[in-house]
């Protein structure tokens, strides 16, 4: 694969197909979009098979100057690899889930294909401003998907989504301009090893935090997410929860931790405090929801809080666990939104009370729904267990209080997810229309079965996902450790610990 521009090809395939979708019939647009996403998935498999674990940190690199001060630089490490794989895995499933779209189908497919290009671009970009372009442009297709093909309150939800996520990024752009002038380069790998002045790091960290916290989303800037999920079409919710939320976590790992390590240590208490509030508050809010999509949306905020808690614990288990939670949540939350979409297409309501006893007339559906519910809860043997266990183990090394409070999210998560499943799948069938719904068809099997297989694969053999990211996690740990004088202590929620205790050697195997 040396010299072959596979990353540029993966960016070009959906972009060209998206333009084609604008010029063909609705039926052809569906076929073209599915074909393009399957081709990109095949390219993703090639990327995975040719990635050299234990080799160079940055692989599949290519660089070409577009004009002075702006370079087309692409390349990936293990963390970018697994997130690109998540993106190309979910996109064909999203196209299959879009069968209910019956107006402006060509434009809808083009928006999804454009979004695939931009998502891959975010994870593959190695130039500071190229990253920013991909990061911000990703707002546009999702804004259109919610605003044009969403529910009754779609205009309000789309504007709220756009304004929240855009305003935070203005500060990030200003910080990027300063960084480029200070370091004399816009090359991301170079900047990850550059030591910015300690005083400047705090301001830079806060500027990036304003963008990434909204994108995650972290409490209290999470309120756009439930509205966006409720109003978005099923496939929009899948890709929003599955990939777009992960851009904030990726930003913390790619920028905040390695580029501003001293500031990350200084503000770790803030991240921990927000994470603890988010886990408890949003889990309790999820418990009282009557709309299935809103419940899953609030659960996403709680899961992302476990990500940030593990990430800022500054140790191997926490960092690896946070990435695994992101991957697992991308699969499981996407699958849960698909499960909601399956029954919504039949009954056209998301109200939990309208269902019940679906395990009688839809046993195959109930089986898939149960697997994804258990994965969301963190049942051993599923993808959810691996990431949450590692994240909480890492959090415990930073602070026992942090681990205790975020650990309640596992208990509360079991509460609201099992309560949801009981009301949907079990009980008496009081509604004749729900009792008459048919079980999964072939298209729905094709959507849910691959995710189920991936969830079990990650739960049974997590090493296949941990191995590519391990060296990158160690690099981040080294950057964090190098900024602290010997014997210096870090105060985290009243529990001072030296950095050598916060960053134990050895990964999770």
What tokens does 69 get? Answer: 């001060």
> Are residue 175 and residue 61 in the same domain, yes or no?
no
441, 478: one domain: yes
Q: How far apart are alpha carbons 449 and 162 in whole angstroms? A: 33
Over residues 439-470, the pLDDT tens digits come to 888 999 999 999 999 999 999 999 999 999 99
Structure tokens of 137?
């442009």
The whole-angstrom separation of Cα 16 and Cα 42 is 17
Q: Are residues 6 and 27 in the same domain?
A: yes
Give residue 387's domain range: 138-183+198-501
Rounded to whole angstroms, how far apart are CA atoms 42 and 60? 16
Q: What is the mean pLDDT of residues 163-173?
A: 81
Please state the rounded mean pLDDT for residues 56-65: 85
Other C-beta atoms within 10 Å of 415: how many? 15
Buried b (16+ CB within 10 A) or exposed e, 393-404: bbbbbbbebbbe
Residue 500 reports pLDDT greater than 60: no
Does residue 491 form part of some domain?
A: yes
pLDDT at 486 over 70: no
Together in a domain, 133 and 170: no
Name residue 496's beta-bridge partners: 491
The pLDDT of residue 499 is 37
Predicted pLDDT at 68: 66
Tell whether 189 is covered by a domain: no
What does the alpha-carbon distance between residue 97 and residue 312 come to, in Å, rounded to a whole number?
36
pLDDT digits (tens, 9 = 90+) for 297-350: 898 888 888 999 999 988 888 999 999 999 999 999 999 999 999 988 888 888
pTM listed for this prediction: 0.88
Cβ atoms < 10 Å from Cβ of 166:
14
210 and 66 housed in the same domain: no
Q: Is residue 330 part of a domain?
A: yes
**Domains in the chain: how many in total?**
2
Residues 149 and 98 in one domain: no
**Are residues 101 and 149 both part of a single domain?**
no
Query: Does 147 lie in the same domain as 26?
Result: no
pLDDT at 57: 86
Flag whether pLDDT at 134 surpasses 60. yes
What pLDDT score does 484 carry?
Answer: 54
- Given pLDDT bands bounded at 50, 70 and 90, which one contains residue 69? low
Residue 58 shares a structural domain with residue 146: no
Flag whether 188 is in a domain.
no
On whether the CB atoms of residues 94 and 235 are closer than 8 A, the answer is yes
**192, part of any domain:** no
Tell me if 193 is assigned to some domain: no
Q: Which residues have a Cβ under 8 Å from the Cβ of 438 and sit 6 or more positions away?
A: 346, 361, 362
pLDDT exceeding 70 applies to what percent of the chain?
Answer: 93
Same domain, residue pair 86 and 149: no
72 pLDDT above the threshold of 90: no
Question: Distance between CA 350 and CA 229 in Å, rounded?
Answer: 12
pLDDT band at 194 (very low <50, low <70, confident <90, very high): confident
Checking if the pLDDT of 507 tops 60, the result is no
Indicate whether 263 and 354 sit together in one domain. Answer: yes
Give the pLDDT confidence of 415-424 residue by residue, as tens digits. Answer: 999 999 998 8
Tokens standing for 14?
Answer: 């959906």
Q: Is there a single domain that holds both residue 115 and residue 148?
A: no
User: Of the candidates 56, 67, 73, which has an alpha carbon nearest to the alpha carbon of residue 186?
Assistant: 73
C-beta of residue 212 within 8 angstroms of C-beta of residue 169 = no
Let me know if residue 218 belongs to a domain: yes
> How confident is residue 490, by pLDDT bands cut at 50, 70 and 90?
very low
In the block, tokens 């979009």 appear at 33
Q: Summarize pLDDT for 338-372 with one digit per residue, the tens.
A: 999 998 888 888 888 888 888 888 899 999 999 99
Per-residue pLDDT, averaged over 229-249, amounts to 87
SS3 497: strand
DSSP string computed for 2-49: TT--HHHHHHHHHHHHHHHHTTS-HHHHHHHHHHHHHHHHHHHHHHHH
Q: Which residue has the tokens 């690899």?
A: 81
In a domain, 509, yes or no: no
Cα(106)–Cα(17) distance, integer angstroms: 11
């Amino acid at each position: 694969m040396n010299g072959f521009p596979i990353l540029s090809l993966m960016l070009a395939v959906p972009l060209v197909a998206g333009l084609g979708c604008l010029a063909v019939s609705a039926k052809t647009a569906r076929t073209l979009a599915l074909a393009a996403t399957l081709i990109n998935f095949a390219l993703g498999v090639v990327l995975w098979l040719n990635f050299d674990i234990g080799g160079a940190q940055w692989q599949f690199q290519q660089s070409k100057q577009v004009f002075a001060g702006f370079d087309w630089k692409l390349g990936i490490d293990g963390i970018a690899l697994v997130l690109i794989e998540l993106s190309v895995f979910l996109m064909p499933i999203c196209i299959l889930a879009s069968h209910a779209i019956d107006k402006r189908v060509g434009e809808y497919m083009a928006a999804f294909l454009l979004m695939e290009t931009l998502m891959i671009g975010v994870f593959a970009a190695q130039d500071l401003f190229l990253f920013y372009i991909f990061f911000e442009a990703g707002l546009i297709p999702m804004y259109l998907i919610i605003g044009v093909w969403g529910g009754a309150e779609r205009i309000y939800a789309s504007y709220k989504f756009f304004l929240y996520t855009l305003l935070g990024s203005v500060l990030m752009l200003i910080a990027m301009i300063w960084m480029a002038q200070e370091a004399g380069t816009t090359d991301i790998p170079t900047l990850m090893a550059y030591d910015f002045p300690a005083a400047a790091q705090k301001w830079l960290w806060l500027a990036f935090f304003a963008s990434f916290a909204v994108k995650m989303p972290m409490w209290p800037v999470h309120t756009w997410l439930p509205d966006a999920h409720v109003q978005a079409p099923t496939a929009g919710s899948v890709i929003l929860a599955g990939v777009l939320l992960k851009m904030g976590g990726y930003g913390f790992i790619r920028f905040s931790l390695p580029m501003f390590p001293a500031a990350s240590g200084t503000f770790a208490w803030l991240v921990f405090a927000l994470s603890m509030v988010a886990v408890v508050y949003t889990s309790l809010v999820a418990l009282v929801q009557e709309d299935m999509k809103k419940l899953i949306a609030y659960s996403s905020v709680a899961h992302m809080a476990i990500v940030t808690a593990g990430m800022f614990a500054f140790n191997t288990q926490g960092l690896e666990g946070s990435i695994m939670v992101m991957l697992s949540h991308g699969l499981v939350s996407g699958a849960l939104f698909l499960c909601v979409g399956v029954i919504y297409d039949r009954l056209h309501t998301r109200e939990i009370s309208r269902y019940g006893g679906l395990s009688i007339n839809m046993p195959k559906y109930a089986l898939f729904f149960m697997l994804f519910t258990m994965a969301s809860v963190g049942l051993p043997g599923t993808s959810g267990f691996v990431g949450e266990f590692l994240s909480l183990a890492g959090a415990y090394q930073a602070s026992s209080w942090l681990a205790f409070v975020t650990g309640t999210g596992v208990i509360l998560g079991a509460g609201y997810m099992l309560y949801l499943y009981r009301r949907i799948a079990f009980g008496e069938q009081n509604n004749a229309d729900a009792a008459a719904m048919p079980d999964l068809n072939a298209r729905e099997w094709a959507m849910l079965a691959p995710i189920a297989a991936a969830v079990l694969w990650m739960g049974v053999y997590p090493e296949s996902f941990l191995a590519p990211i391990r060296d990158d996690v160690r690099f981040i740990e080294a950057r964090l450790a190098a900024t602290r004088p010997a014997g210096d202590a870090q105060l985290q929620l009243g529990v001072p610990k030296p950095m050598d205790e916060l960053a134990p050697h050895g990964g999770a195997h």
